[in-house]
Amino acid sequence: MVAEVLGMAFQIILLRLQLVVVGLLFFSVLKVEGEDRAGPEWWSLQPLKEVKPPSNGQRHVIDSFVVSHLKERGLELSPMASPRSQIRRLYFDLVGMPPTVEEVRAFEADPSNRAYLGVVNDLLASPAYGERWARHWLDLARFGESDGFERNNPRNNLWPYRDWVIKAFNDDMPYDEFARMQIAGDHLRPGFEGMSAVAFLTAGLHNTVIGSSEFMRKTARQDELEDITGTVGQTFLGLTVNCARCHDHKYDPVSQREYYQLASTLRGVYRREQEVEDSTAVARKAAAGKRLEEISKRVGEIERMGREQALARRNQSKTKKNAPLLLQPLARWEFEKGLKDSLGGLHGTAMGSARVENGELVLDGSSGFVKTLPLTGDVTEKTLESWVRLDSLDQKGGGVIGLQTADGSTFDSIVFGERTDRAWMAGSNRFERSEVHGGAPEEEAHKNAVHLAIVYKADGTIIRYRNGVLYDRSYKAKIQHYAKGKAHLVFGLRHGTSPGAGTLLRGKILRAQFYDRALTPDAVAASAGVESNFVPEAELLASLELTKRQEWEGLRAEAARIREEMKSIRGNKRKVYTVRADTHPGPARLLERGHALKRKEEVPPGGVAAVRGPSAQFGMAANAPDAARRRKLAEWITAEDNPLFTRVMANRLWHLHFGRGLVKTPNDLGFNGGKPSHPLLLDWLARELRENGYRLKHMHRLMVTSNAYRQSSRPSKRGGKVDSDNRLLWRKSPIRLDAESLRDSMLAVSGLLNEERGGPGFRDVTLHSNNGTTYYFPFDKEGDPNLNRRTVYRFSPRGRRSTILEAFDCPDPSTTAPQRSVTTTPLQALALLNNDFALRMAKGLARRVKEEVGDDLQRQVGRSFELAYGREAGEKELRLGVQFATEHGMAALGRVLLNSNEFVVLD
């Protein structure tokens, strides 16, 4: 028995010794490169080699490298692609849009190298270039305009980061500066630009439902830091450093300690929306206000034309027939009987200097207003109505009649002169349901009483009336609900409980009424005692010529975008979702197996020692301030002798131009990324990027002018046998359009593309909030030019993408996406046939060709081919197209053309 026990004890001791040895061997492999992992000698970690291009008779340096590899395998470059294929490649690669048939014909007439270079330079100078290449970068930045996770609340002011990226590409900002700004822009260039750029760090997921325990809170924070650290490491270094959070990296020479060194440099990064000083804000707001005035004036002119034409069509008699019955309001105050509600129980109480004289409520603008008893029922839809005479037109912000919550923080009110001198508006808390007035200024109310009414409909439509007729245009906002017993009405006060300057009215209210319903235009006119000349929007638009209607729609959409942008500006400040820096974040500690509560020794900020060149020791204390940490990290990453920084970007550019990188994984140049297909070419490109001032346009120009890029995509038996996946580039691989390029192309060929640039994104989703969680529901509709902007300007919430974008592999922005999936599924064909957006584009194409060539069906079919494919229709295509359109219509033919391989695939 004793012997058995001793034998078991010996076996346990031996097993433990074996585990210790295995563990030592495992951790020592950080310094050893083998078949199953990379060590410090891994190719991507070494300094860039000085490479002399092969001398093999090629005129272009890139071709000399490519041809050298091809010859080793008995292969050669394919012949040049057709001029049409070349120019289509260029347009989609550089600006993400198709060339027009006229641009194709011009290049076909002169396909010389000089003409080709001219097209390249024109495209690189186009503002559409920045839009195209920013979209690639936003994939890396996991740019999503909602938090994700359970709540998924919207981020209404993350768009300045998108606009900053677009501008940086268009300005050809040096890539090293571009990187530094996104790591430490708030410290390097304080102000709106720097704060916009550094939103790269905070653009990812954010869990706002954490839990109350210390473990859950600290774990959530470590998860957030892993996301930020991992994104920085993969994007700029091509290393999956986040894989070393819980243990040393399994495949690359990155220790767990080095992960926490890197995470320490970003430890002070938190996120929030904040107001940031912007030196251009005041000028931008003034320019926006001026433009709104211009738009409002022109919209008013168009609407007057339409209204006159509509009324003329009605051929109304001067005597109104079938006049509407006057509806009874919920409450009425006539002031001949004091402040009593003559219909119900919403009696008023005079506050301050307010008083009733001669059947009128007198308000001196100093302290007087009236407050009623609380509502006796819930109110959502409503109409505010009053007859008022002002003491003077030179007053600002006073309220006539309003409904507000008990503390006055939420309200809807008829207000005079608050944002536009001598104008009536629908006042509201933080202007959430307000629009700047664009109609004629008030010229009469100080002499004669005017009738005012504002109607709030259940769908959010707000309509303003003066003397019974429409006052400016209607608009939509999110309607406010007021609960029984928790809201009351006020007269003479914009809102609040302790009125201050600019909230009180100077004048007399003769009568006031409140409805718990939305009055019709005729009912408002009848109450005001005038004949209604209200023309519904649908009737007004139907009365306009097509060109005037399109102008009206475009101006309305532009005004909506400007108003949305102006919401983010206050004084000389603008709102932006960005970094909130903890200036002194304290020391980081290594966490045992990544456990948030198992804290070990302090870890100072630092880098990865295996990266040859800049020292991984930053030489700063563990409790260094945030500014010093992130500045040093930015310097270390972009150091001239950091080989990963330029190798990663050179490989990324190659991947985006050729469909696959020289290293197959753009975000991972470690062991799992494998070795490059053309290692000397990659190092030459990396050096070229560095030695040309990190200018990306130079690299684009270099790559797209090579014969390797311009060659045909046609397959060959020899090439398919020797190099079936085309790693050696014996032909140009065909590429399917990405989701955004496909959507933008459909907009372009249909003639519906809205080229407005910058500002808040358009929303093709409706937002619904329930118990603190926001849900997003995609939609598409006719007549809203905002929905026709380029896809890069789309408001992009997590979890719900546009149906057509999702079908064509647009990634969810929850993680960095260096490569997009490329799939071919039946759902894609079905989406192009049946999706609301696709149907609208097909109809738009049919309308466009009819407008351009008239009613001749054959010419319409021919023009449709030119617009969709950039070429003329063949004889058979023309014959079959006419036959099909005759039977099914031109919109149906448009659906066929937009659903073809020729439209979706670049050869």
Can you read off the two tokens belonging to residue 44?
Answer: 């991507």
* Cα atoms in the 13 Å half-sphere on the side-chain side of 105: 7
Predicted confidence at residue 895, as pLDDT, reads 97
pLDDT digits (tens, 9 = 90+) for 835-854: 999 999 999 999 999 999 99
Mean pLDDT, rounded, for 563-592: 85
Beta bridge partners of 428: 412
Q: How far apart are CA 768 and CA 776, in angstroms?
A: 7
> Rounded to the nearest 5°, which phi and psi values hold at 570?
-140, 115
Size (the chain), residues:
907
Q: How far apart are CA 777 and CA 798, in angstroms?
A: 12
371 Cβ neighbours under 8 A, 6+ residues apart: 348, 349, 351, 488, 489, 490, 493
Q: How far apart are CA 663 and CA 459, in angstroms?
A: 53
pLDDT digits (tens, 9 = 90+) for 470-483: 898 889 998 999 99
* Cα atoms in the 13 Å half-sphere on the side-chain side of 291: 17
Map tokens 């891994």 to a residue.
Answer: 42
Strands (E), 757-798: 765-770, 773-778
For residue 531, pLDDT over 60 is answered with no
Q: Exposed, middle or buried: residue 214 (CB in 10 Å: 0-12, 13-18, 19+)?
A: exposed
CB 547 within 8 A of CB 235: no
| Full 3-state SS string of 246-288 | CCCCCCCCCCHHHHHHHHHHCCCEEEEEEEEECCCHHHHHHHH
Q: How far apart are CA 576 and CA 567, in angstroms?
A: 11
pLDDT grade for 534, boundaries at 50, 70 and 90: low
Predicted confidence at residue 21, as pLDDT, reads 41
For residue 16, pLDDT over 60 is answered with no
For residue 438, pLDDT over 80 is answered with no
pLDDT digits (tens, 9 = 90+) for 700-739: 999 999 999 999 999 999 999 999 999 999 999 999 999 9
pLDDT grade for 541, boundaries at 50, 70 and 90: confident
Torsion of CA 679, 680, 681, 682, to 10 degrees: 50
Q: Exposed, middle or buried: residue 34 (CB in 10 Å: 0-12, 13-18, 19+)?
A: exposed
Predicted confidence at residue 732, as pLDDT, reads 95
For residue 783, pLDDT over 90 is answered with no
**What letter does residue 235 receive in the DSSP assignment?**
I
Please tell me the least confidently modeled range out of 215-219, 432-436, 558-562. 558-562
Predicted confidence at residue 143, as pLDDT, reads 96
Mean pLDDT, rounded, for 232-260: 96
pTM of the model: 0.73
Selection from 341, 759, 715, 783 nearest residue 540 by Cα? 783
Q: How far apart are CA 639 and CA 649, in angstroms?
A: 14
* Centroid of chain to Cα 337: 56
pLDDT digits (tens, 9 = 90+) for 258-281: 999 999 999 999 999 998 887 777
For residue 581, pLDDT over 50 is answered with yes
Predicted confidence at residue 179, as pLDDT, reads 98
